[in-house]
Amino acid sequence: MQLNIKAGSIRSELSPRALEKWNPAIKAAVENTSDTITIYGIIGEDWFGEGVTLKRIDAALRAIGDKPVDVYINSPGGDMFEGIAIYNRLREHSQKVNTKVLGLAASAASVIYLAGAERQVASSAFLMIHNCWTWLAGNRHYLRDVADDLQEFDAAMADLYAETSGQPVEDMAELMDDETFIRGKRALELGLATSLLTAEEVVERPDPEAKQASALKAMDMALAKAGMSRTERREMFATFKPSTPSAAGGDTPRAVPTDTPRAVELNLEPLPKLSFPA
């Protein structure tokens, strides 16, 4: 999880490595049951201002009611604090929660994944864990204060990975230091996963939403590499107006919105007619 700390506030930023590896077309083969939640996008604020949030997860769980829940995950991560809040909400659910990684559970999404009593990962899927990091400016006192805060955030995540897996916290901290991608079988060996998903449960479905997410992902990465700030990028993406609701919208109890960006239409003024001399 990347953090952007400014004027005393903390804002999340996606890890470029995780975003680059994320394939939004990977989904569950079957996800139309009344006891399923899908997390297919950015944790916290996405390109349009809202992604997978605690509010949406809470609404889905209330709709599902007092029943076991399967949570399917394919996410590049996002806001650490939103991820921790979702983790805690899933842990509070009255019945068993199973978490299943179909493609990628990076950063904040890997924290959410830990909430499962049963934690499954496809053999071809990955967890990605790393330390918090940030872009900031300030004097030496401010920088030291922020470094101390980041150290506490990292320690909290390392403790959570260690408590879930049974591995030494020092080993988990080292994996975070190295920005580690952990394949399904390795996750099982480490104790982060309890079993592997069968291949039949995972499909690659390049629907319009996934194609749009891929396009926005590429655009976001290119603009970030060119030096455009996150705020500027989000302001630009905000000019894209969603034209259709999310596929797993709040009207159905089966899932939170997948939060891969919807099909969009550009709000562009008509271009003036041009005339050229003969």
CATH number assigned to the domain comprising residue 138: 3.90.226.10
pTM exceeding the 0.85 threshold for the entire prediction: no
Cα separation, 192 vs 165, in Å, equals 5
The band of 264, judged by pLDDT with boundaries at 50, 70 and 90, is very low
Sheet with 2-6, strands from edge to edge, namely 9-13, 2-6, 133-135
265 is a domain residue: no
In a domain, 278, yes or no: no
Q: What domain range includes position 168? A: 2-259
Query: Residue 268: inside a domain, yes or no?
Result: no
Is the residue at 194 inside a domain? Answer: yes
255 part of a folded domain: yes
pLDDT at 8: 43
Distance between CA atoms of residues 196 and 181, nearest Å: 16
Structural domain includes residue 73: yes
Determine, yes or no, domain membership for 6.
yes
Q: Does residue 215 fall inside a structural domain? A: yes
Confidence band of 254 (pLDDT split at 50, 70, 90): very low
146 torsion bin: left (phi>0), alpha (psi -120 to 50), beta (else): alpha
Give, in order, the Cα–Cα distances in Å from 68 to each of 59, 61, 91, 164: 15, 10, 12, 20
- Indicate the number of domains in the chain: 1
